């Protein structure tokens, strides 16, 4: 892997390799849960708050992606209604229960919760509710940052202490990978989170392919070849809120 002239690209190439090496076993275990969701016709629910919601959004209704993925896209977890508002809402206890109850989450479904710091109420309580509901739980978080600061939740817990499988996004505290004027810049968590999740999803697909199982894969709407997207919308639409 040769270096090029851009510091961010050079560092992210190395970071992607680190993410793969550090999470090897966890990715394999997560891929097995995704495979199980495929063969058992279950839904994969993904919650991320703030910028973390983009990790799940990348896998939702996308060309080459699984059709059985549902992402929590309520305004309380997005920045669309105000970035400062979203940041404050993430810290409010009780919102997670309202969200959890508004989605159709079967105990046999897989739940994935993404939070870089893993210390705020909304992702923590959503993860706790998933465990209480009987769901298998995967979390994507920064172990370095999460272990550096105390929980903001009354339980004192952090996200990595709740998940069945932990995917460490290998993000340095503060999220930036380059130092400019003494500040960390060049965000890392969104891209490494997407790499972790997409790797686990594609590995789960490969497990299903090895058994000749029909995999519900979306095709690009912008190519002329025939696709099965409408069939997949009908199959999963009643179980996915934002289809």
Share of the chain above pLDDT 70, in %: 98
Q: How would residue 2 be classed by pLDDT, with cut points 50, 70 and 90?
A: low
Are 28 and 203 contacting, i.e. CB atoms less than 8 angstroms apart? yes
Question: With respect to CATH, is domain 45-174+189-216+225-239 assigned 3.40.50.10490?
Answer: yes
What's residue 51's pLDDT? 85
For 67, counting Cβ atoms within 10 Å of its Cβ (0-12 exposed, 13-18 middle, 19+ buried), the class is buried
CA-based radius of gyration for the chain: 18
pLDDT at residue 91 above 70? yes
What's residue 229's pLDDT? 92
| Mean pLDDT, residues 73-85 | 78
Please list the residues that pair with 184 across neighbouring strands.
179
Of the two residues 50 and 107, the one the predictor is more confident about is 107
pLDDT at residue 3 above 70? no
What's residue 88's pLDDT? 82
pLDDT at residue 141 above 90? yes
CA distance 188 to 140: 13
Q: How would residue 187 be classed by pLDDT, with cut points 50, 70 and 90?
A: very high
- Comparing 16-25, 79-88, 140-149, the range with the smallest average pLDDT is 79-88
Q: How would residue 68 be classed by pLDDT, with cut points 50, 70 and 90?
A: very high
- Comparing 9-13, 170-174, 195-199, 222-226, the range with the smallest average pLDDT is 222-226
| Mean pLDDT, residues 45-72 | 93
Are 110 and 83 contacting, i.e. CB atoms less than 8 angstroms apart? no
| Mean pLDDT, residues 169-193 | 93
Tell me the domain boundaries of the chain.
45-174+189-216+225-239
For residue range 147-172, list pLDDT tens digits in order: 989 898 889 899 999 999 999 999 98
pLDDT at residue 173 above 90? no
Global pTM? 0.94
For residue range 104-138, list pLDDT tens digits in order: 899 999 999 999 988 899 999 999 999 999 999 99
Of the two residues 163 and 86, the one the predictor is more confident about is 163
Of 171, 196, 173, the closest CA to residue 183 belongs to 173
Place of tokens 């550090």: 22
| Mean pLDDT, residues 54-67 | 94
């Amino acid at each position: 892997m040769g270096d090029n002239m851009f510091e961010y690209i050079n560092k992210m190439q190395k970071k992607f390799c680190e993410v793969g090496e550090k999470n090897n076993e966890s990715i394999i275990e997560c891929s097995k849960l995704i495979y199980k969701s495929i063969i058992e016709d279950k839904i994969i629910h993904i919650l991320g708050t703030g910028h973390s919601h983009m990790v799940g959004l990348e896998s939702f209704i996308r060309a080459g992606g699984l059709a059985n993925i549902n992402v929590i896209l309520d305004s309380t977890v997005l920045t669309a209604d105000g970035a400062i508002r979203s940041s404050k809402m993430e810290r409010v206890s009780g919102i997670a229960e309202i969200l959890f109850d508004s989605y159709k989450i079967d105990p046999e479904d897989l739940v994935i919760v993404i939070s870089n710091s893993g210390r705020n109420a909304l992702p923590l309580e959503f993860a706790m509710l998933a465990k209480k509901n009987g769901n298998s739980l995967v979390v994507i978080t920064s172990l370095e940052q999460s272990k550096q600061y105390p929980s903001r939740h009354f339980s004192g817990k952090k996200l990595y202490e709740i998940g069945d499988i932990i995917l460490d996004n290998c993000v340095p505290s503060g999220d930036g990978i380059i130092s400019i004027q003494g500040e960390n810049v060049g965000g890392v968590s969104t891209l490494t989170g997407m790499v972790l999740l997409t790797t686990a999803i594609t590995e789960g697909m490969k497990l299903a392919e090895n058994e000749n199982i029909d995999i519900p894969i979306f095709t690009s709407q912008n190519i002329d070849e025939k696709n099965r997207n409408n069939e997949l919308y009908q199959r999963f639409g009643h179980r996915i809120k934002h289809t």
